[in-house]
Amino acid sequence: MQGKVWKFGDNVDTDLIIAARYLNTSEPSELAKHVMEDADPEFVNKMKAGDIIVAGENFGCGSSREHAPIALKWAGISAIIAPTFARIFYRNAFNMGLPIFELQEAFEIEEGDTVRIDMDAGEVINVSQAKTYKFAPIPEFMQELVDAGGLIAFAKKEIAQKAK
């Protein structure tokens, strides 16, 4: 994964990721049109598929709605980097196939930087600043969820393999 960084602060809650006024649908493409809208009304027009969000502490706090990681993934965000994530968001993100990385040095990464994430090596490489950071390895099962595209896709794959 490699992309341009969009930076957000501490305690970005699920209402900021996708406002409650848009929760009358579960259609991913519709949710994606409004991702981060209350934090930056032009965000979806400025970002490009493959871009990466870097945030402060406790990203994804608030409600347990799965709409938040769905909206981010369908908008084209390839990953999120933050020092900490709300626990329910952490699990929901992997269940939706959205990779997230806990990195204490996230505050050193600037908006507009280009970063590359090597999941196998456990590294975030800030190409713009020529710095490399190590993150805690993601458990193998969680990596399998991301590789499969989320929990539902993973389960379908497992069922198909067992049917053979």
On whether the 2-163 domain is CATH 3.20.20.70, my answer is no
Q: What is the pLDDT of residue 21?
A: 94
Q: What is the pLDDT of residue 67?
A: 94
Residue 164 has pLDDT above 80, yes or no: no
Structure-token pair, residue 53: 């969000």
Tell me how far apart the alpha carbons of residues 60 and 10 are, in angstroms, rounded to a whole number. 10
Q: What is the pLDDT of residue 84?
A: 97
CA of residue 15 relative to chain centroid, distance: 15
Give Rg (Cα) of the chain. 15
Residues 110-149 pLDDT 10s = 999 999 999 888 999 999 999 999 998 888 888 888 888 8
**Of 93, 54, 68, which Cα lies nearest the Cα of 13?**
68
**Which run of H or of E encompasses 98?**
none
Residues 84-106 pLDDT 10s = 999 999 999 999 999 999 999 99
Residues 28-39 pLDDT 10s = 999 999 999 999
Residue 25 has pLDDT above 90, yes or no: no
Would you place residue 83 in the very low, low, confident or very high pLDDT band (cuts 50, 70, 90)? Answer: very high
Domain map of the chain by residue range? 2-163
Residues 9-22 pLDDT 10s = 999 999 999 999 99
Residues 31-64 pLDDT 10s = 999 999 999 999 999 999 999 999 999 999 998 8
Tell me how far apart the alpha carbons of residues 65 and 45 are, in angstroms, rounded to a whole number. 24
